[in-house]
């Protein structure tokens, strides 16, 4: 091999290695920025479109909104895509909402709770403001840019799961299904658990709760009390399911539970 040919071969090898190390962007994933007057800042979103979105030019899709989008968008979209390929759920659009440590605490904590449960000087949560952002700014933003149906779902884990249950109490008709993984229902002496008994649900709504079997006693006690409340006081229009995920902890329960939650919602809706 000549010197020039060797250099060319080496260059090609380098390019191929770089492409293998850094795969091309996924054409089904779109990153966008949503300006918000309600929050007083712009929020990033990650939109994961179904495999056939570009081919099916007239088809409309349900939307699953995912809190803590940086951590949970990928596995949620993968689960949704696989279940759709198997034919057990329809294709859905997954919209992830990344959050920082600061806005996560504000956004996901109900306004009647302090962000830091152990500090009397901690500010109150602003979940009411964040819920207005979802309803008045984010959902219209997604509906205007993508072919959506009126079926919307919301998923969250830990404090995000607390927000998911809070949204059921405050805006039961905003989402058709809610998935709360390892929800922090222990906060403020389990106040949200107690309020479940007075939930007002007007139309068909689905609630899925799951907890890992390796989570701490405080989380587990609140979860079991929520299950007991649902068994005795769930509104007639609320369809619900609860699971203890074997082998799961607080860190991986959402990823393990997401396909179960989607399957449970869609199979029960047929």
Each residue's pLDDT tens digit, 176-226:
999 999 999 999 999 999 999 889 998 889 999 999 999 999 999 999 999
For residue 25, is pLDDT > 80? Answer: no
Check residue 121 and give its pLDDT: 80
Average pLDDT rounded to a whole number, residues 89-107:
93
**Residue 34 maps to a domain:** yes
Question: What is the per-residue pLDDT for 269?
Answer: 63
Check residue 101 and give its pLDDT. Answer: 76
Position 17 pLDDT exceeds 60: no
Q: How many domains does the chain have?
A: 1
Please give the residue range of the domain that contains residue 123: 28-268
Q: What is the pLDDT of residue 19?
A: 55
- Binned at pLDDT 50, 70 and 90, residue 122 comes out as confident
Residue 8: what pLDDT? 46
Q: For residue 176, what is the domain's CATH number?
A: 3.40.50.1820
| Residue 8 included in any domain | no
The verdict on residue 14 lying in a domain is: no
Report whether pLDDT(260) > 70. yes
Which comes out higher in pLDDT, residue 11 or 203?
A: 203
> Is the whole-model pTM more than 0.95?
no
Residue 12 confidence (pLDDT) above 90: no
Residue 6 has pLDDT above 60, yes or no: no
User: Which has the minimum average pLDDT: 19-23, 96-100, 101-105, 200-204?
Assistant: 19-23
In a domain, 247, yes or no: yes
On average, the pLDDT of the chain sits at 90
17 within some domain: no
Identify whether 2 is part of a domain. Answer: no
Average pLDDT over residues 61-71: 96
Q: How far apart are the first and last CA of the chain?
A: 66
User: How much is the pLDDT for 2?
Assistant: 53
In this predicted model, what pLDDT tens digit does every residue of 129-152 receive, in sequence order?
Answer: 999 999 999 999 999 999 999 999
Q: Could you tell me if residue 12 is inside a domain? A: no
Domain presence at residue 124? yes
């Amino acid at each position: 091999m000549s010197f020039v040919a060797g250099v060319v071969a080496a260059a090609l090898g380098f390019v191929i290695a770089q492409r293998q190390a850094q795969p091309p962007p996924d054409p089904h994933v779109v990153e966008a920025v949503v300006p918000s007057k309600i929050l007083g800042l712009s929020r990033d979103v990650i939109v994961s479109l179904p495999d056939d979105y570009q081919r099916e030019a007239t088809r409309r899709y349900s939307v699953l909104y995912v809190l803590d989008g940086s951590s949970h968008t990928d596995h949620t979209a993968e689960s949704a895509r696989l279940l759709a390929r198997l034919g057990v759920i329809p294709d859905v659009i997954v919209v992830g909402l990344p959050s920082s440590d600061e806005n996560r605490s504000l956004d996901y904590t109900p306004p009647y709770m302090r962000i830091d449960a152990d500090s009397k000087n901690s500010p109150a949560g602003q979940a009411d403001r964040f819920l207005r952002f979802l309803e008045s700014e984010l959902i219209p933003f997604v509906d205007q840019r993508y072919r959506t149906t009126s079926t919307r779902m919301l998923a969250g884990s830990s404090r995000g799961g607390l927000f998911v249950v809070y949204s059921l109490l405050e805006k039961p008709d905003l989402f058709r299904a809610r998935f709360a993984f390892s929800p922090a229902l222990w906060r403020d002496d389990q106040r949200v658990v107690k309020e479940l008994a007075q939930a007002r649900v007007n139309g068909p709504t689905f609630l899925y709760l799951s907890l890992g079997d390796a989570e701490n006693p405080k989380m587990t006690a609140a979860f079991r009390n929520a299950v007991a409340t649902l068994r005795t006081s769930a509104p007639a229009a609320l369809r619900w399911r609860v699971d203890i995920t074997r082998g799961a902890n607080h860190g991986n329960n959402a990823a393990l539970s997401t396909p179960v939650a989607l399957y449970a919602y869609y199979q029960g809706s047929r």
